[in-house]
């Protein structure tokens, strides 16, 4: 049985989702931030013998699906046929059953890593700061556009990116740590989708001429210490570069599985 959820279902659904809080970061965060009664977000659950066995969330043009069982997704297809969406994502094992219905869509698989405890290294992090202004987000945009792997990341124009980033940071959905050398921003790392239990790390980047000087290690030590030991929240991240994976593993991240995205906009 498929049921469209309301606030009265929240406790039961959250209990189900928090079995694997990292894989459900986006669903948990969106429910906590926007609830069940908006015109841009809807949530459904499948029940079997009175228990939740799968959840589908629509946030604007994005769908996120989760199930802790290998089960047919057929009950959700009729719902999805009536929705306008461009992205479907979730734990690979859960959403790969949608593939026959999305044959022309682009597929991207990423390693998914998590950290639930952290011992800070003997590193001075006093110079690490958090971006708290529009101008500083402009500086971050300038930094990211100078780095090959980030330069085509769909950030748009500097003014638009910086306004949006500053707004989301003020709302608590994005936090960006940075280091400067001679008053120039040289290294950044951000968290997004922060909810009551965890947050996602994105955008770990250092200008090429300032690499191999330990800047990223300083940033990540401060960020991980703040979240794991200060806020008592776990951290997770995606990566598709094995070299980057080794760096994160040295910090204490552990691979917990694969995350998949189906993207209609990149149809081949």
User: pLDDT of the chain along its 268 residues, tens only?
Assistant: 999 999 999 999 999 999 999 999 999 999 999 999 999 999 999 999 999 999 999 999 999 999 999 999 999 999 999 999 999 999 999 999 999 999 899 999 999 999 999 999 999 999 999 999 999 999 999 999 999 888 665 668 999 999 999 999 999 999 999 999 999 999 999 999 999 999 999 999 999 999 999 999 999 999 999 999 999 999 999 998 887 788 899 999 999 999 999 999 754 4
**Do 50 and 139 fall within a single domain?**
no
Q: What's the pTM value of the predicted model, to 2 decimals? A: 0.90
**Spatial separation of the C-alpha atoms in residues 134 and 15, rounded to whole Å:** 38
Residues 148 and 233 in one domain: yes
Strands 234-239, 198-206: pairing is parallel
Question: Within a domain: residue 264?
Answer: no
Same domain, 250 and 167: yes
Question: Which pLDDT score, from 0 to 100, does residue 156 have?
Answer: 80
pLDDT tens track for 217-258? 999 999 999 999 999 999 999 998 887 788 899 999 999 999
pLDDT of residue 268: 47
Q: Is 74 helix (H, G, I), strand (E, B) or coil?
A: helix
H/E element, 44 = strand 41-48
Task: Give every strand in the sheet of 41-48, ordered side by side.
Answer: 2-4, 41-48, 51-59, 62-66, 87-91, 254-263, 106-115, 234-239, 198-206, 184-192, 174-181, 129-130
Determine the pLDDT at residue 153.
58
Are 234 and 146 in a shared domain? yes
Tell whether 120 is covered by a domain: no
- Which range of residues forms the domain containing residue 15? 2-103
């Amino acid at each position: 049985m498929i049921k469209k959820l309301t606030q009265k279902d929240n406790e039961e659904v959250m209990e189900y989702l928090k079995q694997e809080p990292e894989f459900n970061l986006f669903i948990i965060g969106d429910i906590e931030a926007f609830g069940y009664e908006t015109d841009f977000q809807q949530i459904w659950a499948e029940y079997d013998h009175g228990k939740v066995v799968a959840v589908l969330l629509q946030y604007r043009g994005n769908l996120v699906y989760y199930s802790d069982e290998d089960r047919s997704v057929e009950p959700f297809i009729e719902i999805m046929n009536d929705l306008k969406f461009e992205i479907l994502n979730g734990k690979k094992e859960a959403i790969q059953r949608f593939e026959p219905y999305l044959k022309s869509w682009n597929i991207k698989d990423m390693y998914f890593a998590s950290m639930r405890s952290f011992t800070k290294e003997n590193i001075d992090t006093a110079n690490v700061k958090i971006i708290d202004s529009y101008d500083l987000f402009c500086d971050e945009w300038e930094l990211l556009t100078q780095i090959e792997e980030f330069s085509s990341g769909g950030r748009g124009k500097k003014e638009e990116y910086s306004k949006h980033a500053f707004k989301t940071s003020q709302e608590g959905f994005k936090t960006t740590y940075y280091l400067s050398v001679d008053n120039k921003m040289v290294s950044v790392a951000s968290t997004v989708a922060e909810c009551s239990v965890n947050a996602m790390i994105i955008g770990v980047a250092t200008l090429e001429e300032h690499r191999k000087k330990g800047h990223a290690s300083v940033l990540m030590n401060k960020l991980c210490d703040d979240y794991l030991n200060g806020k008592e929240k776990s951290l997770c991240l995606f990566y598709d570069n094995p070299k980057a994976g080794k760096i994160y593993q040295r910090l204490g991240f552990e691979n917990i599985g694969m995350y998949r995205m189906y993207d209609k906009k990149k149809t081949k």
